[in-house]
């Protein structure tokens, strides 16, 4: 049956709209125009209304404040009003008063549940932003004469599980369950950001997680493209807050995007690419305020290169655990023991640049607490008898990323020379085996300066 559904709708696009695209009635009208302008846009994912202006508050943040108030035993009246006012103003302008009634009823029913478990209560409340927005968009589409349905993630079978450590995992059967949406004849409006546990509890992804919902649906439905509509024309080669009018990226691979996201490049949720990547579904980032723009395509294989380097990014919050021991290279099992000690503390290793007699383990500073540092340093000193061991905190990682670099001689030298001419000391250099990125460790205070210096070198 499902397969026949897939035949019915050839070249289906999964189209996700972010918070700024759903921020008010004007934006939601643009969203509906975009949906209706292409018959292949069949499955729509929406975020909760985001900021209308820079000092505005996202509906998700209003809901978090509401859940916090309720969890701490307050009435939450003021917070509830702020949430309802946002939806009421949208529904009023879209002239869908009945929808506001049902949104209000649904929100009140959910928040009036007793707080049995604070984490579950928080998740259920946070999900109300996306849930209400999906109801609202499907109602408005119906009102203007198009068949549209609100799709509940529980009914559709988006099953999630919270792993130890709080990471949210998609249960594999979700993909088969969600594939059935292809059978729907009408437009399906699906709330982003949450799914359900097997026990029927709401589970939300981390912030920005509607991107993940869109990618899961695109993968489940074998979409021809996963469109991700936001408020910028393109992905840029560097953070536009650091460089004025940066170079636009028209095409980028999943691998390049992943490397850049790692170093603080914030376009899509870090985990959102994975489901699309596994099934080779291209992702198109587009601007709701400029729908005719081509946007940025994220693909498995590039068709062209506009520049040698695709993007440059920098992220603070790293530290290096450095150790050296004479003849370390001849000592069988040395690294295994070091890694075992670090694993015993539950830490994951970010990078591990090494020399003949020395190795540096790069960790996230937030996880490498002073107590863990003390225990690890003590154990490595005693159990491995190293000559020197030190910790270098306040490090930033700056990366240049580009698949074209793999076939070009001298890119690392160019980058290192530019940084040295700018007076930036390199604490470490690391190049991954794929040769699509080079990573430099610099002191945190030089992070933005290093990114700008590299941008100037490669983009002029």
Please report how close the Cβ of residue 110 comes to ligand ASP at its closest, in angstroms.
16
Q: Which residues of 264-290 are buried (b: 16+ CB within 10 A; e: fewer)?
A: bbebbbbbbbbbbbebebbbbbbbbee
Number of residues that bind ligand ASP (CB under 6 A): 13
Which residue in 13, 19, 243, 249 binds ligand ASP (CB under 6 A)? 19
Which residue in 191, 208, 214, 402 binds ligand ASP (CB under 6 A)? 208
What does the alpha-carbon distance between residue 105 and residue 102 come to, in Å, rounded to a whole number? 5
Residue in the shown chain whose Cβ atom is closest to ligand ASP: 210
Q: Which is nearer to ligand ASP, 127 or 328 (CB)?
A: 127
Please report how close the Cβ of residue 219 comes to ligand ASP at its closest, in angstroms.
17
Which structure tokens are listed for 101? 């009634």
Verify binding: residue 153, ligand ASP, rule CB under 6 A: no
Stretch of residues binding ligand ASP (CB under 6 A), selected from 206-214, 321-329, 333-341, 449-457: 206-214
Task: Return the bridge partners of 41, or none.
Answer: 13
Residues 130 and 46 sit within 8 Å (Cβ to Cβ): yes
Stretch of residues binding ligand ASP (CB under 6 A), selected from 72-80, 115-123, 205-213, 244-252: 205-213
Specify burial of residue 400 (Cβ count, 10 A radius: 0-12, 13-18, 19+): buried
Please report how close the Cβ of residue 261 comes to ligand ASP at its closest, in angstroms.
15
Verify binding: residue 129, ligand ASP, rule CB under 6 A: yes
What letter does residue 218 receive in the DSSP assignment? Answer: H
Which residue in 76, 153, 157, 192 binds ligand ASP (CB under 6 A)? 192
Stretch of residues binding ligand ASP (CB under 6 A), selected from 168-176, 207-215, 376-384, 427-435: 207-215
DSSP string, 222-288: T-SEEEEEESSSSEESS-TTTSSSPPEESEEEHHHHHHHHHTT--SS-TTTHHHHHHTT--EEEEET
Please report how close the Cβ of residue 379 comes to ligand ASP at its closest, in angstroms.
39
Verify binding: residue 207, ligand ASP, rule CB under 6 A: yes
Verify binding: residue 48, ligand ASP, rule CB under 6 A: yes
Verify binding: residue 167, ligand ASP, rule CB under 6 A: no
**Radius of gyration from C-alpha coordinates of the chain:** 24
DSSP string, 145-185: T--EEE--HHHHT-BEEEPTTS-EEE-THHHHHHHGGGG-S
Q: What residue ranges bind ligand ASP (CB under 6 A)? A: 19, 47-48, 58, 60, 129, 192-193, 207-211
């Amino acid at each position: 049956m499902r397969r026949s559904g897939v035949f019915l709708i050839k070249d289906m696009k999964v189209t996700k709209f972010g918070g700024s695209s759903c921020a008010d009635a004007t934006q939601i009208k643009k969203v509906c125009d975009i949906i209706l302008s292409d018959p292949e846009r069949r499955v729509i994912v929406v975020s909760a209304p985001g900021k209308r202006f820079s000092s505005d508050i996202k509906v998700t943040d209003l809901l978090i404040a509401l859940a916090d108030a309720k969890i701490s035993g307050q009435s939450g009246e003021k917070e509830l009003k702020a949430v309802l006012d946002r939806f009421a103003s949208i529904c009023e302008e879209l002239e869908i008063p009945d929808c506001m009634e049902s949104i209000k009823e649904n929100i009140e029913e959910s928040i009036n549940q007793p707080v049995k478990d604070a984490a579950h209560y928080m998740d259920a409340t946070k999900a109300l932003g996306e849930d209400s927005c999906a109801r609202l968009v499907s109602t408005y589409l119906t009102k203007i004469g198009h068949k549209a349905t609100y799709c509940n993630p529980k009914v559709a079978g988006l099953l999630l599980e919270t792993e130890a450590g709080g990471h949210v995992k998609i249960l594999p059967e979700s993909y088969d369950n969600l594939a059935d949406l292809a059978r729907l004849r009408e437009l399906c409006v699906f709330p982003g950001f949450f799914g359900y546990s097997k026990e029927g509890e709401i589970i939300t992804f981390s912030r920005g997680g509607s991107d993940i919902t869109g990618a899961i649906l695109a993968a489940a439905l074998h979409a021809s493209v996963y469109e991700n509509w936001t408020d910028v024309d393109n992905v840029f080669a560097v953070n536009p807050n650091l460089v004025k009018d940066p170079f636009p990226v028209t095409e980028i691979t999943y691998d390049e995007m992943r490397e850049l996201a790692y170093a603080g490049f914030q376009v899509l949720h870090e985990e959102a690419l994975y489901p699309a990547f596994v099934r080779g579904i291209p992702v198109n980032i587009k601007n709701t305020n400029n729908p005719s723009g081509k946007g940025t395509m994220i693909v498995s294989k590039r068709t062209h290169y506009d520049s040698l380097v695709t993007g440059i990014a920098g992220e603070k919050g790293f530290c290096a655990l450095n150790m050296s021991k004479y003849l370390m290279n001849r000592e069988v099992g040395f690294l295994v023991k070091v890694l075992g000690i670090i694993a015993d503390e539950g830490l994951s290793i970010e990078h591990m640049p090494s020399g003949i007699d020395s190795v540096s383990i790069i960790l996230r500073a937030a996880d490498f607490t002073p107590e863990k540092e003390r225990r690890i340093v003590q154990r490595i000193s005693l159990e491995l008898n190293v000559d020197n061991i030190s910790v270098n905190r306040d490090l930033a990682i700056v990366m240049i990323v580009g698949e074209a670099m793999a076939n070009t001689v001298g890119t690392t030298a160019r980058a290192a020379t530019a940084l040295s001419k700018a007076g930036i000391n390199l604490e470490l250099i690391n190049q991954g085996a794929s040769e699509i990125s080079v990573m430099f460790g610099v002191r945190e205070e030089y992070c933005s300066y290093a990114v700008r210096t590299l941008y100037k070198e490669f983009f002029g």
